[in-house]
A and B are shown apart, each in its own frame.
Chain A
Amino acid sequence: MLFAWYLSFSATRLDRLHHRVETSWEHLDALLQRRAALALEIAHHNDLDPALDMLLTASAYESREAPMTDRDEAESLLSESLRMIRESVAAGDIQIKVALIDRLGDITEKIRVAISIHREAVTAVENLRSKRIFKVFHLAGRAKLPFRYSFEDDQL
């Protein structure tokens, strides 16, 4: 009886964590989409050199159009190009509308927070699911283990 209660309690716990991963990912994804839109705006409004322009445009486009499995590279590329833009603006090498740069700084900060929240949720699920009782009793059902993307390691 007690054991049955424990099983049900554990399953609920896991379910709650799974749900948390989903929400944190949705939040992160929405921010990434906003970043892509902002990147396109920056690319259109300033005469950056064509190589940087091309990387920015192509990766922003990819971020918005590609299926998630292909997006990892694009998000990394976007992080990298945008970091170069912010550094160049700080060094006075290029000029970009102050409003755009402010929004970029803002969204980068939000993405940084969103990534750390999402990672924390993923780690919690992984820890819980590695316990034997979850494996033996199939408490996770057919839910897939949450996926870690390599762009989450990028320096923003």
Chain B
Amino acid sequence: MTFPPSRIGMVCPYGWDTPGGVQIHIKELAEHFIALGHYVSVIAPVSDESTIAEPWLVSAGRPLAVPFNGSVARVAFGPVATSRVRQWIASNEFDLLHLHQPEVPSLSLIACWSAEGPMVGTFHTASSKQRTLVAAGPILEPIIEKLTARIAVSEMARETLREHFETDAVVIPNGLDTSKYSAAQRLDKWSYGPTIGFLGRFEEPRKGLSVLLEALPFLMKKNPKLRLLIAGPGDSEKVLKNVPSALRTRIEFLGRLTEREKADFLKSVTIYVAPNTGGESFGIILTEAMAAGATIVASDIPAFSEVLQSGECGALFASEDPHSLARVIEGLLVDAERREVLSHSGIESADKYDWKNVATQISDVYEIALASGAGVSLASENRPWKRFRTIE
């Protein structure tokens, strides 16, 4: 389904110049809709406005690093951010607003509160601290109610939404440009071995590298030529300290990879392992690995098992259990045929995460939200002059 060219405003809650899944999602979504002939403007917190490369991006001021939900979020709030959001809404005459993570105390929440008209909200995270929600619920509920339609990026995100806000959502996964990954090359330097690949900030405990390292002695003994390749930023010395010295020569650190290298890496390694122990709402990295045709071994946390269709597009092992991990990897190392089967079904089901399909689903939601015909305007109940009523 398509709808006539419209003016779409998207709101990003997190600092635009810090890397993150939500930012990438919004960037690619915006580019996709611009290519379809719509007018798109994105507002986001920006630390350094001179680095903005996108003509459609508007800065809402500098983000503040705020400890939130167990990690540090770079968000914007306060009177300056609020007036920039208001001004952006007032001057753009949008037909529709698309708010990302409106439950996070940042721009999307402010926009939802400030605006009236068709609004779509996308919920990316799976869980929030209970105490925060108990306190913030009464503030959030009446604002989130204003959304015309809600999107959750995974079944888990939808479940959280149902539990905490008693509202349902359409599940539409994060998008992916599969052509980037299907064009990837298999490189000898990363495939000779066989090789096991790990990708990500390996110092973060929840990425689960320690589980893989525990499984390593067994695997290395069985396969004398096996190499472990670790890609991603972090301090390699700290990791090697916990590894038996005989195995250290067979671990290589590749540092941070470019997007292109990442695709080649995923395509090249014999087995790609994602031993994450939790904290994932959607396995974007798994969809990328699937699109690249990697043979995937992942922990059976709900988000991963959902993306891998309970093991159809990649093998699952019991999360945090190195013995289970070693068994699954070993089983695949000796079975080239099974690896081929997994890789194929991975490539096939990665297609549903491609932007052409994901954006169509989002279009459908936009169309429903746009049906009322009224555009977006500033909400009347919080015009600035109203503020003075509480002053004494």
Contact = CB atoms under 8 A, between A and B. Distances in A.
Interface residues of B, number: 34
B390 A54 contact: no
B386 A47 contact: yes
B362 interface: no
Interface string B131-163: 110111001100100000000000000000000
A70 to B, nearest CB: 8
B136 A54 contact: yes
B134 A52 contact: no
Contact of A51 (B77, B132, B390, B392): B77
B82 interface: yes
Contacts of B392: 97
B105 A65 contact: no
B201 to A, nearest CB: 21
Given A49-B113, A61-B134, A73-B67, A55 B386 contact: no
Contact of B79 (A58, A61, A88): A88
Interface in A106-132: none
Contacts of B83: 93
A60 to B, nearest CB: 8
A53 B134 CA distance: 14
A62 B390 contact: no
B78 interface: yes
Contacts of B79: 49, 88, 93-94
A109 B66 CA distance: 23
Contact of B132 (A47, A62, A76, A93): A62
A55 B76 CA distance: 11
Interface residues of A, number: 27
B81 interface: yes
A84 B392 CA distance: 21
A58 B135 contact: yes
Nearest to B143: A50
A57 B387 contact: no
Interface in A63-90: 65-66, 73, 76-77, 80, 84, 88
18 contacts: A46-B387, A49-B82, A50-B139, A51-B77, A51-B106, A51-B107, A51-B109, A54-B109, A58-B131, A62-B132, A76-B67, A77-B66, A84-B77, A88-B78, A88-B80, A93-B78, A93-B79, A95-B387
State the 10 A-B residue pairs at the shortest beta-carbon distance, nearest first. Answer: A51-B77, A61-B135, A93-B79, A51-B105, A73-B67, A49-B82, A54-B105, A58-B135, A54-B136, A50-B113
